[in-house]
Amino acid sequence: MNNDTIKQYLEYLKLSGIQDIFINPKKQINKAELLQELEKKYCNCKKCELHTGRHKFVYGNGNADARLMIIGEGPGAEENRLGKVFVGRSGQLLTKMLNAINLSREEIYISNIVKCRPPGNRNPLPEEKKACLPYLDEQISIIQPELILLVGKVAAVTLLEIDQTLKAFRERTYTFRGIKTYVSYHPSALLRNPHWKKFAWIDLQKLQKDYLAL
């Protein structure tokens, strides 16, 4: 509809006795703002015991319009201190791995299964994961990535609901919430077992091929 047609239509409404019309301009959803608001809303969460050791709630970081989302396990000591995902030693390795396939942290979004640090970096307990997963679900719904990379067995078992070894997980891709999903090693496992890096590299190359084809 052009401006003249709109003007004519408004004239017509006026002549028909209609004095007021209510316009509800569709507000463009800004995903980044929405994520920021939600982070603020949840950052004092006390839904599980992990809040007792929390210094900072680690919601997630990166590009709200990302086409690729990476999901890890839970914050470590450095993440708890700074309130940002993957900023410790394993985060530095993750950044290097991404850079090796020409991806930057700014381009993607990274989050975790749980948003508060499990004490001593133990695996999150079922009730902790259950309490926290709605936050991740919501992040996925907002970001709507086209690819997901789950790093580590905890993220894979939790989201794909299959109990198998990481080696078995890596053998195929999955459809999680309609999104093509990869599983690879957690960077902290690669720090402990550097000889697995060659396998992680194979996973990354497959991921890069799909990412470039998006």
Dig out the tokens for 46 from the structure: 């006390």
- Nearest approach in angstroms of CB 180 to ligand URA is 21
User: Pick from 50, 57, 73, 207: which binds ligand URA (CB under 6 A)?
Assistant: 73
Q: Alpha helix locations (H) across the chain?
A: 3-15, 31-42, 77-82, 89-100, 126-143, 153-160, 166-169, 187-192, 197-212
Residue 210 Cα distances to 67, 138, 160, 175, 179, angstroms: 11, 24, 20, 14, 12
Q: Mask 166-205, x = binds ligand URA (CB under 6 A)?
A: ----------------------x-----------------
User: Pick from 79, 148, 159, 182: which binds ligand URA (CB under 6 A)?
Assistant: 79
Give the residue closest to ligand URA by C-beta: 72
DSSP class of 49: G
The SS3 of residue 155 is helix
Number of residues this chain uses to bind ligand URA (CB under 6 A): 13
Tokens 């990412």 correspond to 211
Stretch that binds ligand URA, among 67-75, 128-136, 189-197, 200-208 (CB under 6 A): 67-75
Q: Does 131 bind ligand URA (CB under 6 A)?
A: no
Q: Which is nearer to ligand URA, 112 or 139 (CB)?
A: 112
- Half-sphere exposure (Cβ direction) of 134: Cα atoms closer than 13 Å: 8
User: Pick from 74, 83, 118, 145: which binds ligand URA (CB under 6 A)?
Assistant: 74
| Whole-number Å distance between alpha carbons of 179 and 149 | 10
Q: Which is nearer to ligand URA, 87 or 207 (CB)?
A: 87
Residues that bind ligand URA in the complex, under the rule CB under 6 A: 72-76, 79, 85-86, 88, 90-91, 112, 188
